[in-house]
Amino acid sequence: MMFPIPRSDKQARFCEPVLTVDSQYDIVDFGLQHADGSIDSLAIGGAFTSAKRWYKEFDERNDGIVAAEMQLSVDEHAVKNDLPFINVDGTDVPEEQQRKVATTV
């Protein structure tokens, strides 16, 4: 996931997938991506078959509540700290939705 850093031309990289030639392994990185596309990051990876299966089963049992709670947490943080609203996936939140959230938090 990448999201913009306020008042900067950089983006934060958080668990951003790194392409590999072996599909068995998942590698993600954490760091910064500059406006010119260059990256400063640390990468970690491995084969996470069991963890993926457990997370999928957990999320299905809970009707996707985990993702919804993550978005609520991001929205509350934005309201309390007067920050721009972003979706968990890094996309902008429409202004009308921002107003609704600001009045409920």
Same domain, 58 and 94: yes
Indicate if the pLDDT at residue 100 is higher than 80.
no
The pLDDT tens digits for 68-85 are 666 555 556 556 655 555
Same domain, 8 and 25: yes
Same domain, 39 and 69: no
Same domain, 63 and 103: yes
Same domain, 55 and 41: no
**Which position has the token pair 């938090």?**
105
Name the residue range of residue 30's domain: 1-47
The pLDDT tens digits for 16-69 are 888 888 778 888 899 999 999 999 999 998 887 888 788 788 877 776 666 666
Same domain, 40 and 58: no
Sign of dihedral through CA atoms 94, 97, 102, 105?
A: negative
pLDDT at 67: 61
Three-state SS string over 13-41 comes to EEEEEECCCCCCCEEEEEEEECCCCCEEE
State mean pLDDT over 84-95: 59
